């Protein structure tokens, strides 16, 4: 599946940045949680040391805890702050906040201070610190715990704030990234615009004032374009010279075939005449093919109305005995990115064919939509439905009694194909004869302001 380069770049950068932002968020959350728990552990260790300091000898020689030196948070039941002092000899002192609950003593180990998360009263989640001391010859263990609810609530609030900040930064960076991508790829848009102008015949080559990554490609394209145009022109010139030379020899051959000496050999004379006619048709066909080579010159435009006017005047003279009325419904400002000879060949074959078959009227019109539709209609007898598909076949003639060789519409199809167009035949709903529609890409047309804007 193909995607625009801009889309792929933008999507790749966006995904990469979102993943990095998410990873940063995760790592920052872990770091903040560890920092908060380290601070909590430090406070619990200070509380354990304060409890150790509050232990003193009692009257019976046992250690007693001075209640006046204990913080009020350890006095309120289920306050979330708890302690337990376990002294060798079976003495166990617990904070009033534990009420009737207790703190589970961790398994004995080599570490003097341990800490971990554990359960507490009323389903509380506690961070428990266990420290081993010795005072006045009495080994003891002090357990101090604090509810993690406050820490977790603060952590959740931090995550929400950091999430909002991250989303804002991501949105800003993505917007800046889109701007950078569009600006970086703007030379490609410029190049595309130039190529469209080249196709429309508004320029002869592409500019090379582009970034270093694109300029060599454009230079190579301009070189290749010039080379193809030169080759096309040389081919046309060579075919024209060859046709001119052959026509001269063909005229000599025809003159010899019509000489009095050949009259005594009618069969040979006829064979020579037929061969000469076939040669003439081949020369005309190849000359027409030569005009199709390479399509339109990239900087060449042809006025459609002007070409149609000239052809209408010429055809009026050629078919003067029938005096067909040729109506042109084409705006004067329309120009086509076509070789003038190609346009004359296209219009000439279609308009001449319509004049041959019409009774009195021929109409040429241009319709613009998703594509260009050049329509030629006549009021003649039309064409049988089963013959419509064969009209453009080389050598096909709907009526053998009419003059011609059956090559005109075939040449028209070749011309239309060379411009990526299509040819359509059907009955004319207006005039009743044949309707020929030439579909051409819309990009070939361009409105050129002209004082002659009238339509006939």
User: What torsion do the CA atoms of 165, 168, 174, 175 make, to the nearest 10 degrees?
Assistant: -150
Token pair recorded at residue 448: 């050129």
316 and 431 co-located in one domain: yes
Last residue of a domain, one of 105, 132, 153: 153
Closest CA to 11 of 178, 184, 182: 178
352 and 443 co-located in one domain: yes
Segments forming the whole domain that contains residue 258: 215-291
142 and 268 co-located in one domain: no
Q: How many CB atoms sit inside 10 A of residue 388's CB?
A: 16
Q: How many CB atoms sit inside 10 A of residue 69's CB?
A: 12
Backbone angles phi, psi at 259, to 5 degrees: -70, 155
The number of domains in the chain is 3
Distance separating the N- and C-terminal Cα atoms of the chain: 49
282 and 412 co-located in one domain: no
Domain membership of residue 415 (yes or no) is: yes
Closest CA to 315 of 359, 365, 354: 354
Last residue of a domain, one of 259, 291, 323: 291
Are residues 177 and 170 in contact, defined by beta-carbon separation less than 8 angstroms?
no
Handedness of CA 243, 245, 248, 253 (dihedral sign): negative
Can you tell me the distance from the alpha carbon of 362 to that of 207, in angstroms, rounded to the nearest whole number?
45
Q: What is the largest CA-CA distance in the chain?
A: 163
Closest CA to 88 of 138, 132, 142, 49: 138
pLDDT at 109: 67
322 and 391 co-located in one domain: yes
Backbone angles phi, psi at 141, to 5 degrees: -130, 130
Domain membership of residue 182 (yes or no) is: no
Domain membership of residue 286 (yes or no) is: yes
Last residue of a domain, one of 130, 153, 176: 153
Closest CA to 178 of 11, 2, 4: 11
Counted residue by residue, the chain has a size of 456
227 and 343 co-located in one domain: no
46 and 124 co-located in one domain: yes
pLDDT at 406: 41
Can you tell me the distance from the alpha carbon of 103 to that of 297, in angstroms, rounded to the nearest whole number?
94
Helix, strand, coil shares of the chain, percent, nearest 5, are 50, 20, 30
Closest CA to 103 of 114, 113, 111, 92: 92
Handedness of CA 376, 380, 385, 391 (dihedral sign): negative
pLDDT at 389: 67
283 and 333 co-located in one domain: no
Domain membership of residue 208 (yes or no) is: no
314 and 340 co-located in one domain: yes
Q: Residue 100 in 3-state DSSP?
A: coil
Element (H, E) at 314: helix 304-318
319 and 442 co-located in one domain: yes
Can you tell me the distance from the alpha carbon of 445 to that of 334, in angstroms, rounded to the nearest whole number?
7
Domain membership of residue 193 (yes or no) is: no
* pLDDT tens for the 456 residues of the chain, in order: 345 777 888 888 888 888 988 898 889 989 998 998 899 889 999 998 898 888 887 767 688 888 788 888 888 888 889 999 888 867 888 888 888 888 888 876 667 888 888 888 888 899 999 998 888 878 888 999 999 988 888 889 998 998 899 889 888 988 888 888 888 878 877 888 888 777 766 777 787 777 777 788 888 888 887 777 777 777 776 776 777 677 777 777 777 777 777 777 777 777 777 777 777 766 766 666 555 554 445 556 778 888 888 888 888 888 777 778 888 888 877 888 787 878 888 888 888 888 888 888 899 998 888 888 999 999 888 887 777 766 654 444 444 444 443 456 777 888 888 788 888 888 888 888 889 999 988 878 766 544 443 333
pLDDT at 146: 92
CATH code: domain of residue 314? 3.30.565.10
pLDDT at 402: 45
Closest CA to 207 of 197, 182, 336: 197
Helix H segments across 362-420? 408-418
What residues contact residue 35 under an 8 Å CB cut-off, 6+ apart?
none
Q: Which residues pair with 81 in a beta bridge?
A: 146
262 and 305 co-located in one domain: no
Helix H segments across 185-204? 186-199
Can you tell me the distance from the alpha carbon of 193 to that of 175, in angstroms, rounded to the nearest whole number?
25
Domain membership of residue 313 (yes or no) is: yes
Domain membership of residue 404 (yes or no) is: yes
Domain membership of residue 279 (yes or no) is: yes
Please classify residue 190 by burial: count the beta carbons closer than 10 Å to its beta carbon, then call 0-12 exposed, 13-18 middle and 19+ buried: middle
Token pair recorded at residue 251: 């005229």
21 and 81 co-located in one domain: yes
CATH code: domain of residue 133? 3.30.450
pLDDT at 291: 53
């Amino acid at each position: 599946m193909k995607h625009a380069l801009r889309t792929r770049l933008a999507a790749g950068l966006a995904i990469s940045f979102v993943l990095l932002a998410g990873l940063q968020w995760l790592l920052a959350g872990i770091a903040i949680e560890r920092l908060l728990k380290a601070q909590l552990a430090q406070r619990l260790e200070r509380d354990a040391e304060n409890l150790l300091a509050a232990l003193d000898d009692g009257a019976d020689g046992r250690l007693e805890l001075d209640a006046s030196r204990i913080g009020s948070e350890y006095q309120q039941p289920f306050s979330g702050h708890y302690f337990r002092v376990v002294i060798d000899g079976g003495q166990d002192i617990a904070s009033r906040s534990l009420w009737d609950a207790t703190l589970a003593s961790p398994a004995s180990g080599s570490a003097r201070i341990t800490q971990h998360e554990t359960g507490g009263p009323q389903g509380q989640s506690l961070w428990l610190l266990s420290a081993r001391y010795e005072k006045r010859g009495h080994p003891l263990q002090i357990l101090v715990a604090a509810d993690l609810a406050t820490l977790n609530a603060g952590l959740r609030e931090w995550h929400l704030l950091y999430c909002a900040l991250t989303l804002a930064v991501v949105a800003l960076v993505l917007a800046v990234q889109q701007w950078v991508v569009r600006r970086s790829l703007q030379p490609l848009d410029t190049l595309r615009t130039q190529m469209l102008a080249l196709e429309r015949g508004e320029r002869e080559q592409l500019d090379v004032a582009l970034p270093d990554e694109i300029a060599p490609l454009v230079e190579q394209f301009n070189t290749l374009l010039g080379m193809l145009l030169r080759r096309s022109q040389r081919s046309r010139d060579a075919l024209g010279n060859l046709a001119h030379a052959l026509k001269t020899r063909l005229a000599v051959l025809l003159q010899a075939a019509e000489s009095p000496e050949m009259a005594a050999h009618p069969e040979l004379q006829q064979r020579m005449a037929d061969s000469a006619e076939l040669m003439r048709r081949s020369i005309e066909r190849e000359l027409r093919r030569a005009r199709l080579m390479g399509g339109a010159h990239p900087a060449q435009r042809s006025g459609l109305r002007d070409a149609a006017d000239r052809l209408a005047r010429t055809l009026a003279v050629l078919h003067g005995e029938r005096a067909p009325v040729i109506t042109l419904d084409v705006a004067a400002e329309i120009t086509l990115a076509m070789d003038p000879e190609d346009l004359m060949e296209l219009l000439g074959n279609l308009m001449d064919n319509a004049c041959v078959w019409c009774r009195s009227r021929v109409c040429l019109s241009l319709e613009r939509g998703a594509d260009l539709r050049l329509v030629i209609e006549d009021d003649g007898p039309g064409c049988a439905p089963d013959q419509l598909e064969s009209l453009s076949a080389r050598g096909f003639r709907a009526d053998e009694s009419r003059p011609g060789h059956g090559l005109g519409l075939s040449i028209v199809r070749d011309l239309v194909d060379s411009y990526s167009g299509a040819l359509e035949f059907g009955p004319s709903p207006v005039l009743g004869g044949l309707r020929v529609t030439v579909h051409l890409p819309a990009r070939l047309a361009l409105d050129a302001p002209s004082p002659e804007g009238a339509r006939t």
